[in-house]
Amino acid sequence: MSQDNTVISVFSSHDAADEAVKELSQNDFDMTKLSIVGKGYHSEEHPVGFYTVSDRIKSWGTTGAFWGGI
């Protein structure tokens, strides 16, 4: 049986949340498993990174090519 682990954190400022994300990233946390919900987000800010559909296709494409080759 699979067991999912969930952690929820609340930060008082955007800077505190940003610092936590940077720390997770520097400690090899799988950023594809991170979700952030907030308010007052401005598009001129620069997030640490995004996991996009393109990234998913690249990842699945290489896996699919491997299994297809077998």
* Other C-beta atoms lying within 10 Å of the C-beta of residue 34: 15
| Full-model pTM | 0.51
From the centroid of its chain, how far is CA 69? 30
Q: Check if the beta carbon of residue 33 is closer than 8 Å to that of residue 7.
A: no
Q: Check if the beta carbon of residue 34 is closer than 8 Å to that of residue 21.
A: yes
In tens, the pLDDT along 8-50 reads 899 988 889 889 989 988 998 888 888 888 776 655 556 666 6
Whether pLDDT at 4 is above 80: no
Measure the CA–CA gap between 24 and 18, rounded to whole angstroms: 10
